[in-house]
Structure 1
């Protein structure tokens, strides 16, 4: 079995190169969506690396916006057109593996056709997500004064309802899913334009749209509420804690396959530690 990695990146080409090098060692290819706001020139050298492909249909990505979903979908299209993969693994440029590709492939071979993704049901276990779809959000349209316009719209307009009464499910945008599951997600997305229009005015839809589509399908039993990633949300903010050497013991004991997020410009020692103690490089 081969695995395709889809990496959403926007900066730090050297750190991205390091990540790619760790991912392409056995039965794996890497597809990179580079934010269209980022210049391509600093990343040109990465194109020459074996098993690396840059997504041609780039979009401008803004935090919390619909375009993160579009960037991911564009990546799925190109990966599926290439063919030959059993699983697709979605990462950011600030992720890093904690186990080897061989270990991951063995695990996925033992768990075929699954989707490892956070899948909290919003109505019962993720109430904070409900306003993301019930209200209008203009994150995808970065014009001056948009929050005032957004507030006015939500004052005047009735509460929104997700098309087809889909059950809202999710939590984290990062996941590992079989190609069969990804094909279903892409096909559903393509056949339901009303859902695509609806999602353009939600907040951070990348954290729930893919899980929601799958959960409301005949493939629900393929979902495993485990994203295989170590992420520290102890800070309580909108972004996870930046991992450093002080987190090394937790990374070792986590038994996860990936971790996020890292910044090599602030602490590269933790990546060296992972290489030496977990990946045996």
Structure 2
């Protein structure tokens, strides 16, 4: 049985949503359904219960998810051990970064890192926030940057290295009633239409929009849905009474008619973090994380947004 079938099943067992799982796996929903049916035929057991409202794992499905995780982990460990032994896994790192969130320091650090480790090949690609977790689990990348609300870690699959914090802000049109203010209360934000991403389609990005509002007892719609933050900021140009919620560093997306206002409450901030799968045995991982930590300690200006 191909290892990719277990990888696909693990994604589906966590998301319990065929369309989202298929999107993250880069395949169509009918193909994913066909692969699930193949697994059910091989084990002669029903793995998922589906109805019009939800998808749930059967008891056998839960058992397979646990065993599949062990199988995939052992496969990855064996793969890395053999590649290390033949010298093909020692000198490469694949990193997913988040555009504007890392632009201020990442290129400078990579220049320094390459000077010290010329034999390590670095492969970088920009990514949407919601694509990061599954890419790490599939080992499509070794490391990734994420930004999320400052709160306790809930996803224990990964290791996290906090790099710095970024204050929560809102953006408004220059003709908005709040324009010209230095700061506002999070409670005031609830009085205006919100332009944001759909939490169902982009859970992590949606949480960046909704967390602080919901923590303050304000329901998150949003009133105007956009596929990503850049589009939210563009739509602000066309909606003078609306608000966009964003980390301060993302002000690069704002147009000429927008104003940035900080949230006045303490604790309203995001953390920029480096994360990785602790089962990943790439020997260059620890070199990178250690040197990045030292680099940021030596260059505190990069941590001041």
Give the TM interval when normalised to the shorter protein. Answer: under 0.3
Give the TM-score, by structure 1 length.
0.25
Give the TM-score, by structure 2 length.
0.24
